[in-house]
Amino acid sequence: MRNLNILLLFFLVILLSGFHIESKSTTGDRVLVLLDKEADKILYKKFFATLEKENKLSYKLPTDSSLDLFEFGERKYDHVINFAPKTKKYVDKVNPLSLIKFMNSGGNIILATTSKTSENIRDFVREFDIEIDDKDTFVIDHFNYDISDEGKHTLVIIDNNKGNSDDSITNNPAILSKKVIEGSPILFRGIGHKVGSSPLLAKILWGRNTSYSYEVRGEDQKSIVDQEPFISGNNIGLVTALQARNNARITLVGSLDFFSDRFFDSPVHNVITSEKFPKSGNEDFAIDLVKWTFQKKGVIKVTSRQHHKEGETEQLETYRIKDNITYTIEISEYANDQWQAFNGTDVQFEAIMLDPYIRKTLTPLPVTSSPDSESRKFITNIQLPDVYGVFTFRVNYKRPGYTYIDDKSVVAIRPFRHNEYPRFISAAYPYYTVTASMIVAFLTFSTVWIFNEDSSIKNKMKKTN
Partner 1 sequence: MKVLGLDTQNLSALLKVVILGLIAAVALASRLFSIIRFESVIHEFDPWFNYRTTRFLVANGFYEFWNWFDERSWYPLGRVVGGTVYPGLMVTSATIYNILRTLNFTVDIRNICVLLAPLFSAFTSVAAYLLTSEIKDSSAGLLAAAFIGVAPGYISRSVAGSYDNEGIAIFLLLFTFYLWIKALKEGSAYWGALTALFYFYMVAAWGGYVFIINLIPLHAFTLILMGRFSSRLYVAYSSFYILGTLMSMQIPFVGFQPTRTSEHMAALGIFGLIQIIAFVEFARSYISSNQAQILFKSFVVLSFVGMLSGLVLLTLGGYIAPWTGRFYSLWDTGYAKKFIPIIASVSEHQPTAWPSFFFDLEMLIFLFPAGIYLCFKELRDDHVFLILYGITASYFAGVMVRLMLALTPVVCVTSAIAISRLFDIYLKLDDTDKDNTSAKNNKPAIEKSNTSAKSNKSAIEKSSRKGDASRSTSSSTSKSSEKKKKSEQFRILGFDTRILVITNFFFFLVIFTWHCTWVTSNAYSSPSIVLASRQADGSQYIIDDFREAYYWLRKNTDYSSKVMSWWDYGYQIAGMADRAVLVDNNTWNNTHIATVGKAMSSSEDVAYQIMRRHDVDYVLIIFGGLLGYSGDDINKFLWMIRIAEGVYPNEVREVNFFTPRGEYRVDDEATPTMRNSIMYKMSYYNYNELFGGQGQDRVRGARIPADKIKLDTLEEAYTTENWIVRIYKVKNLDNIGRSLEQAGAFELGKKKRKRVKRAN
Stretch that binds partner 1, among 13-21, 32-40, 58-66, 128-136 (CB under 8 A): 128-136
Spell out the alpha helix ranges (H) of 78-213. 96-104, 119-126, 178-181
Binding mask 312-331 for partner 1 (x = CB under 8 A): ------x-------------
Distance between CA atoms of 315 and 305, rounded to whole angstroms?
Answer: 10
201 binds partner 1 (CB under 8 A): yes
Residues binding partner 1: number (CB under 8 A) = 39
Query: Binding partner 1 by CB under 8 A: which of 40, 64, 68, 131?
Result: 131
CA atoms of 27 and 29, how far apart (whole Å): 7
Q: Please identify which residue in 4, 354, 427, 461 interacts with partner 1, judged by CB under 8 A.
A: 354
Q: Is residue 320 within 8 Å of 386, Cβ to Cβ?
A: no
Pairwise CA distance, residues 255 & 257, whole Å: 5
Measured from the CB of residue 404, what is the shortest distance to partner 1 in angstroms?
A: 12
Q: Is the Cβ–Cβ distance between 249 and 107 less than 8 Å?
A: no
**198 near partner 1, judged by CB under 8 A:** yes
Q: For partner 1, which stretch binds (CB under 8 A), given 33-41, 147-155, 197-205, 443-451? A: 197-205
β-bridge mates for residue 457, sequence order? none
Residue 318 CB, nearest approach to partner 1 (Å)? 7
* Minimal distance, residue 104 CB to partner 1, in Å: 5
- Going from the C-alpha of 224 to that of each of 134, 142, 150, the distances in angstroms are 16, 14, 17
Backbone φ, ψ for residue 449 (5° rounding): -60, -45
Q: Does 425 bind partner 1 (CB under 8 A)?
A: no
* CA nearest to 62, candidates 103, 85, 91: 91
The one segment of 196-204, 271-279, 284-292, 399-407 that binds partner 1 by CB under 8 A:
196-204
DSSP for residue 148: T
The least distance separating partner 1 from the CB of residue 223, rounded to whole angstroms, comes to 11
Q: Which of 70, 277, 357, 388 is the binder for partner 1 (CB under 8 A)?
A: 388
Query: From residue 188, how far is each of 156, 164, 238, 394 by CA, in Å?
Result: 5, 20, 8, 42
Among 216, 244, 316, 358, binds partner 1 (CB under 8 A): 244
Q: What secondary structure does DSSP assign to 246-305, as a single string?
A: TS-EEEEES-SGGGSHHHHH--EEBTTT--EESS-SHHHHHHHHHHHHTTSSSEEEEEEE
- Cβ proximity to partner 1: between 262 and 320 the closer is 320
Nearer to partner 1 by C-beta: 152 or 262? Answer: 152
Instruction: Indicate the residue among 179 and 414 with the shorter CB distance to partner 1.
Output: 414
Contact residues toward partner 1 (CB under 8 A) are 97, 100, 103-104, 122-123, 126-129, 131, 134, 198-201, 215, 227, 230, 242, 244-246, 248, 250, 318, 353-354, 388-392, 410, 412, 414-415, 417-418
